[in-house]
């Protein structure tokens, strides 16, 4: 039988321990996904002129625009503020998700998980 198979694996971890660890991590990730579905984050741009509320699933839940920044002669500024707020909300939510994920995986990089 090839080395590394059978009763023991390198590092003293056997296959049963490895499977239990994988199942534990899978449960923690499922719990995290549930928590993320309920997570909300509010971000603003332009000193609060544009406010975005985003879910843990990166869906925009609410968008508030102060009437003070609605200028028909400067639509580009409003567009920039909205884009900035959305991008910042996504960045912050990604950061929160990655932080939670690294707690589960112990810092292991698992691309494509979230």
pLDDT tens-digit profile, the chain (114 residues): 455 444 555 556 688 888 888 888 888 888 888 887 788 999 999 999 999 999 988 999 999 999 999 999 999 999 999 999 999 999 999 998 888 888 777 766 555 554
For 73, the token pair is: 């002669």
Domains of the chain, start order: 17-105 (3.30.1310.10)
The pLDDT of residue 111 is 58
The pLDDT of residue 79 is 94
Which residue has tokens 């698992």?
110
Rounded to 5 degrees, φ, ψ at 43 are: -130, 145
The pLDDT of residue 45 is 93
Among residues 37, 42, 32, the alpha carbon closest in space to that of 56 is found at 37
The pLDDT of residue 27 is 86
DSSP annotation of 6: S
The pLDDT of residue 9 is 53
């Amino acid at each position: 039988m090839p080395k590394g198979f059978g009763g023991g694996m390198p590092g003293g971890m056997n296959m049963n321990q490895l499977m239990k660890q994988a199942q534990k991590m899978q449960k923690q990730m499922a719990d995290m996904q549930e928590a993320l579905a309920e997570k909300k984050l509010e971000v603003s741009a332009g000193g609060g002129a544009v406010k975005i509320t985003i879910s843990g699933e990166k869906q925009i839940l609410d968008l508030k625009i102060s009437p003070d920044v609605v200028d028909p002669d400067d639509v580009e500024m409003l567009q920039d503020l909205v884009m900035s707020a959305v991008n910042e909300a996504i960045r912050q939510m990604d950061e929160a998700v990655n932080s939670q994920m690294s707690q589960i995986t112990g810092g292991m990089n698992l691309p494509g998980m979230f």
